[in-house]
């Protein structure tokens, strides 16, 4: 848990890490698989429809990453279609509601899973069925399935749903910065992009947050963030410059990857 506002006391773990963290070197060479990416797209859209704040949304997608990492390549071969991820996605959303104390009705989560996780000829085309399923026997079966899947996801994650949030770190790091109102949204966009690129999530949270701030400085203020504010942050929290630079590279890769996928991953509003 990271309830303290004393950033220096936060554990040096990555957002992706849980009880059995991935090897960082291997993790940074990974990408998001062809099935995981469209699942993440649907989960992100569902979180927005449910009006999740930034942290529960981050947690929901992170839980999916953790689950996919835990079951490994052999497990992923058993989830070949979008519909195979329907209840896993619902479980990740509902777990995020509990973990971040932002409650939502289970029925709403089930409705979105039923409406969004629909197989298409193109998995990157995200559509929604027009109407949610009726409150009948099918709904009660779905509710039972979500509860069962939630337990399975928790077991794979070793029942650890604590998340180190880089967004919170950005807010605290920029607390007294004059340009914070401009820098925070720009840094948040970079961190949101990271959710679609596993290697970006393998860095310690402070390194990831400082890298996002550096990119925000370049975008908003029009100059390199390698000096000034970010250099001061690196020195204050004893962050290795090489590590921050690598985290920055992975965040750039995440953004570029999403731009390349823009034509493939089309979001149609309901």
Q: Strand pairing partners for 126?
A: 267
DSSP secondary structure letter of residue 2 = -
Given the structure tokens 């701030």, which residue do they identify?
213
Is the distance from CB of 81 to CB of 34 less than 8 angstroms?
A: no
Is the distance from CB of 15 to CB of 163 less than 8 angstroms?
A: yes
CA distance linking residue 27 with residue 37, whole number of Å: 16
Q: Among residues 209, 260, 211, 201, which one has the least CA distance to residue 31?
A: 201
Tokens for 156? 């794979």
Q: Among residues 179, 237, 240, which one has the least CA distance to residue 213?
A: 179
Helix intervals (H) in 77-204: 86-99, 106-116, 137-156, 166-173, 180-194
HSE-up (13 A, CA, CB side) for residue 126: 23
Would you state the pLDDT for residue 182? 92
Q: Among residues 206, 159, 213, which one has the least CA distance to residue 185?
A: 213
- Cα–Cα distances (Å) from 193 to 65, 160, 187, 199, 221, in that order, read 14, 24, 10, 11, 20
pLDDT digits (tens, 9 = 90+) for 74-121: 888 888 788 889 999 999 999 999 999 999 999 999 999 988 887 665
Would you state the pLDDT for residue 15? 65
CA distance linking residue 235 with residue 208, whole number of Å: 15
Spans in the chain with pLDDT lower than 70: 1-34, 119-130, 223-231, 262-270
């Amino acid at each position: 848990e990271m309830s303290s506002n004393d950033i220096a006391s936060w554990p040096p773990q990555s957002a992706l890490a849980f009880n059995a963290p991935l090897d960082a070197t291997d993790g940074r060479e990974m990408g998001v698989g062809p099935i995981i990416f469209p699942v993440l797209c649907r989960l992100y859209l569902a979180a927005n429809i449910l009006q999740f704040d930034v942290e529960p949304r981050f947690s929901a997608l992170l839980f999916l990453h953790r689950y996919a990492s835990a079951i490994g390549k052999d497990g992923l071969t058993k989830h070949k279609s979008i519909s195979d991820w329907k209840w896993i996605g619902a479980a990740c959303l509902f777990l995020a509601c509990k973990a971040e104390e932002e409650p939502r009705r289970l029925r709403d989560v089930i409705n979105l899973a039923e409406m969004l996780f629909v197989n298409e000829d193109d998995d990157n085309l995200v559509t929604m069925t027009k109407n949610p399923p009726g409150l009948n026997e099918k709904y009660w079966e779905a509710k039972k399935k979500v509860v069962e899947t939630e337990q399975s996801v928790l077991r794979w994650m070793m029942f650890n749903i604590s998340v180190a949030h880089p967004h919170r770190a950005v807010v605290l790091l920029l607390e007294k910065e004059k340009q914070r109102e401009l820098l925070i949204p720009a840094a948040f966009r970079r961190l949101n992009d990271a959710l679609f690129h596993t290697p970006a999530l393998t860095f310690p949270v402070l390194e990831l947050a400082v890298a996002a701030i550096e990119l925000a400085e370049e975008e908003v203020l029009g100059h390199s963030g390698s000096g000034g504010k970010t250099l001061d942050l690196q020195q204050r929290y004893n962050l290795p410059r090489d590590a921050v630079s690598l985290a920055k590279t992975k965040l750039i890769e995440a953004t570029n990857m999403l731009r390349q996928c823009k034509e493939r991953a089309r979001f149609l509003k309901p």
